[in-house]
Amino acid sequence: MGVIPMARTKCEVWSRVCGYLRPTSRWNEGKLEEFRDRANFNFD
């Protein structure tokens, strides 16, 4: 059985800022760094 090549597409990440959703690609460098520093929590 051969390997099927997969095409990659760019995935857009959105985050909630001040009550509304906004794509992270539209943020400035400072906001992106703050986003990377955020802690994630799971309530399982």
Whole-number average pLDDT of the chain: 84
Residues 9-36, mean pLDDT to the nearest whole number = 86
Report residue 6's pLDDT band, with 50, 70 and 90 as the boundaries.
Answer: confident
Residues 20-35, mean pLDDT to the nearest whole number = 88
Residue carrying structure tokens 């509304």? 20
**With 70 as the cut, is the pLDDT of residue 1 above it?**
no
Per-residue pLDDT at 38: 84
| Residues 34, 24: Cα–Cα separation, whole Å | 11
Residues 13-39, mean pLDDT to the nearest whole number = 86
**With 80 as the cut, is the pLDDT of residue 44 above it?**
no
| Residues 24, 17: Cα–Cα separation, whole Å | 10
What is the chain's Cα-based Rg? 16
Q: What secondary structure letter does DSSP report for 8?
A: -
